[in-house]
Structure 1
Amino acid sequence: MPVEKNGSITDPVDAQVGGDADIDGIAQTITADDINAVLLSSQPVEQRLETLKSMRSELEARSHADFGNEMAPLINDLDAAIERLSERS
């Protein structure tokens, strides 16, 4: 199935493995930097809370494949960020 990336259509069959058009697998797509960016953004608190909760739901849904327990620290960071923002609202 072709994937649109940066305004152009890329067919995964033609993509170089490890290249810019490489399709994400189960690699971690949420990082601590992403969490901090949402936490410190200038968006309204309610919107930031919604984004953080969505990120947490995504990690929770993917945690069944996390045999190395690498998502737990990110989930803990999200819980702390949600708690911190909840105190503001």
Structure 2
Amino acid sequence: MPIEKHSSMIDPVDAQVGGDADIDGIAQTITADDINAVLLSQQSTDQRLETLKAMRGELEARSHADFGNEMTPLIDDIDGAIDQLSKQL
């Protein structure tokens, strides 16, 4: 029997998994896009380095729970960005 809904609220059951409306997971708060945004930002090199190091520290702190090895590529991206910016100093 179909269920009639009278609310305009989005029901998570109706949301497509992996779609644009998908709710972010708790495990991945830093993405490759975030890293690139900091790298290409208009902030000073020192500020960008500080932000990248903070991002790396956050990923390192959570890496003990990374059973899917998903954080390692992000840490590698951050290390590459730090190296690139360090050459500009």
Question: The TM-score by the shorter chain falls in which range?
Answer: 0.7 to 0.9
Residue range with higher mean Cα deviation, 75-84 or 24-33:
24-33
Superposition TM-score, scaled by structure 2 size: 0.72
Matches within 5 A, 1:21-36: 26-36=26-36
Could you say what the CA RMSD is over the residues aligned between the two structures, in angstroms? 1.9
Unaligned runs of 5+ in 2: 1-10, 14-20
Q: Deviations for 1:44-88, whole angstroms, at most 9, x for unmatched residues? A: 000000000000000000000000100000000000000000000
Q: CA deviation at 1:25?
A: 6.0
Separation in structure 1 between the aligned mates of residue 88 and residue 57 of structure 2, nearest angstrom: 22
State how many pairs are aligned: 72
Which runs of structure 1 show a deviation greater than 6 angstroms over 4 or more consecutive aligned residues? none
1:55 paired to 2:55: yes
Identity in percent: 72
CA 49–39 in structure 1, closer or farther in 2 if over 3 Å, else same = same
* Structure 1 or 2: more strand by fraction: 1
Superposition TM-score, scaled by structure 1 size: 0.72
Q: CA deviation at 1:26?
A: 3.2
Larger radius of gyration between Structure 1 and Structure 2? 2
RCO higher in structure (CA 8 A, sep ≥6): 2
